Structures are given as structure tokens and as C-alpha cells.
């Protein structure tokens, strides 16, 4: 039996983007609608939160120190020690209604992130960007709805990207030397089910773990896209997942309470919290942003 426990009853409106900072021994995640960044130090149980000027989408450790994150209108550097935020660039100044959503670093230290329409998510005004350590930015996919699941196989040769509105996770061939993608194909889908694929991570065995919005579950997919395991969650809207801890054996799962009625909240009072799952497998170390 897979053990699921509440690690932090954080009450996030839209908890998202968990990332394990191995150097700091810390789990970071964001509350998009709450405009906050959170940190958990599992060794002590201590939590810290920072208010942000815009809705954050995703965060990653930075090789030169601190963090890098995407907020509504672009990429920024953040120093947890001082709380200082420094804007780096906005690749979409002509799209003021867009906001950045999910994002993560590839195994070479490039930061990928996707944008979406901040008011009408069904409008495919979003784009997927690759931010390179040399300061350049590249639009890799244009005209998307809600991009989620930036994840890579252990060898980095396969990239996974979810289109939440389409209820599909795609796989791409990934050129680790250039960061280019190709040969898009359908990896897994939740069509016909009451679940939407949201954020993901990959374990050391090359299996993809996907949190499924409105599905009350996290699903582990084999490299061929077949369902290997379903972990039932005590909340309706798990949003993303990330392995953490000293041996990367704990799967942390973020969740949301936004849009839930009072009646539904009575059934899931911990919605918006962070959950820990003893999954019986370990994850992979995250690579910091190289810029």
C-alpha cells in the first residue's frame, strides 16, 4: 500500500511547480493565485513564504546562486536570503494578457517554461520557451492553451509536455546538445475520464509521474505510455509532483483549492496542501539553471 500524508497544510489557492533544491535540502513551490513562493526544509519541518508582485508560475535553483522563476510577465531572479527580485526579461511584451504557467530545467541546465492566456485559458495564445544559460530565449512551440509537464527521460533524449486542455501528454525527441525538439507523438491521454494531466516528474527508472487535476490521483506511466500505477490522493486537484529528500525517495505533490465549493471542501479540508508519497522508487537530481 502506498502511504500518502500531508507534509504541509499550506492552504494554497493554486499550489504548483514543486522543485527540490538538493544543495539547500529544500522543497520550493508556488501558489499562483496567492502570489507567493513557499519553501519547506523537511529536516526541521520549517516553512518560509515570500509575497511576490505577480502570479508566479514555476521556479528552479540557479547555478550562480538563488533561484530563477517565471512570473506573469517573464523571467526573474530571486534571492531567498534577501527576498530581492530582479527581472531578467519578458519574451511576450505584446501579449499582456498572457501569464507564465509551468516550467523546469532540462538535464543541461536550460530553463523551459510555457505561457497561457491568464483570463481565458481556452484561448490558445500561449507559447513554450527555452531560456538558455547564455541569456538567449527561443520560442519553441507557438499557439498553445495550457502547457504543463516539462519533464525529461533519465538520458535526456525524450521530453514530455502536456496539453492540459486536450487531455494529452506528448513525447518529443530531444537533442541534448542543442535543446531542439521533434517527432511529437501522443504518449498518454485522459480523454473520456474526469481528469486532466497537469504537472509531472520522472523517476530513476524512467517512469513518468503525472498529477491529474480533478482526478483525485497521481498516475505513474511506463516509458511506453502504459499505466503502471495509480496513487489515489485525498484531494480532487493535485497539480504537480517532484521527488525530494536526501535520497530522493519522497514524492511531493502540490494541490489546489481554487474553484472548489464549500460542499466539496468539506470532503477535502487539506486541499491546497503539500502531500508526501512513499512511492518505493527514487527520483533524479534536478539540474540548476545554468544562467
In the set 198, 214, 228, 246, the catalytic residue is 198
**Cα 104-224-190 angle, rounded to 5 deg:** 70
Q: Are the C-beta atoms of 255 and 277 separated by less than 8 Å?
A: no
Q: How buried is residue 156: exposed, middle or buried, by Cβ count under 10 Å (0-12/13-18/19+)?
A: middle
Here the cell at position 122 is 481556452
Q: Which residues have a Cβ under 8 Å from the Cβ of 92 and sit 6 or more positions away? A: 73, 74, 98, 115, 127
Here the cell at position 62 is 540557479
- 3-state SS, 190-205, equals CCCCCCEEEEEEEECC
| Active-site annotation holds for 198 | yes
Q: Which residue has the cell 471542501?
A: 265
Instruction: Choose among 36, 46, 33, 34: nearest CA to 7.
Output: 46
* Rounded-to-integer distance, Cα 110 and Cα 265, Å: 39
**Alpha carbon separation from 148 to 63, 65, 218 (Å, rounded):** 24, 26, 14
Q: Which residue has the cell 530563477?
A: 68
Report CA torsion sign: 130, 16, 213, 126. negative
The residues that bridge with 185 in the sheet, in sequence order, are 171
CA atoms within 13 A on the CB side of 275: 31
Annotated catalytic sites, by residue? 198
Amino acid at each position: 500500500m502506498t502511504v500518502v500524508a500531508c507534509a504541509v497544510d499550506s492552504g494554497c489557492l493554486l499550489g504548483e511547480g514543486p522543485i527540490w533544491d538538493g544543495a539547500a535540502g529544500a522543497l520550493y513551490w508556488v501558489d499562483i493565485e496567492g502570489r507567493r513562493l513557499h519553501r519547506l526544509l523537511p529536516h526541521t519541518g520549517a516553512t518560509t513564504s515570500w509575497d511576490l508582485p505577480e502570479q508566479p508560475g514555476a521556479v528552479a535553483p540557479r547555478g550562480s546562486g538563488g533561484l530563477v522563476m517565471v512570473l506573469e510577465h517573464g523571467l526573474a531572479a530571486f534571492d531567498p536570503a534577501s527576498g530581492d527580485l530582479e527581472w531578467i526579461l519578458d519574451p511576450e511584451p505584446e501579449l499582456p494578457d498572457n501569464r507564465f504557467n509551468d516550467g523546469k530545467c532540462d538535464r543541461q541546465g536550460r530553463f523551459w517554461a510555457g505561457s497561457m492566456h491568464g483570463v481565458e485559458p481556452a484561448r490558445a495564445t500561449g507559447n513554450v520557451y527555452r531560456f538558455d544559460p547564455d541569456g538567449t530565449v527561443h520560442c519553441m512551440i507557438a499557439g498553445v492553451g495550457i502547457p504543463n509537464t516539462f519533464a525529461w527521460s533519465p538520458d535526456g533524449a525524450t521530453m514530455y509536455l502536456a496539453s492540459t486542455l486536450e487531455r494529452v501528454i506528448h513525447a518529443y525527441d530531444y537533442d541534448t546538445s542543442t535543446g531542439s525538439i521533434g517527432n511529437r507523438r501522443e504518449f498518454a491521454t485522459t480523454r473520456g475520464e474526469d481528469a486532466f494531466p497537469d504537472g509531472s516528474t520522472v523517476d530513476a527508472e524512467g517512469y513518468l509521474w503525472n498529477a491529474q487535476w480533478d482526478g483525485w490521483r497521481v498516475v505513474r506511466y511506463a516509458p511506453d505510455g502504459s499505466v503502471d500505477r495509480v496513487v489515489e490522493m485525498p484531494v480532487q486537484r493535485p497539480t504537480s509532483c517532484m521527488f525530494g529528500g536526501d535520497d530522493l525517495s519522497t514524492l511531493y505533490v502540490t494541490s489546489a483549492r481554487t474553484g472548489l465549493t464549500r460542499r466539496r471542501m468539506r470532503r477535502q479540508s487539506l486541499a491546497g496542501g503539500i502531500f508526501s508519497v512513499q512511492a518505493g522508487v527514487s527520483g533524479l537530481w534536478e539540474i540548476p539553471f545554468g544562467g
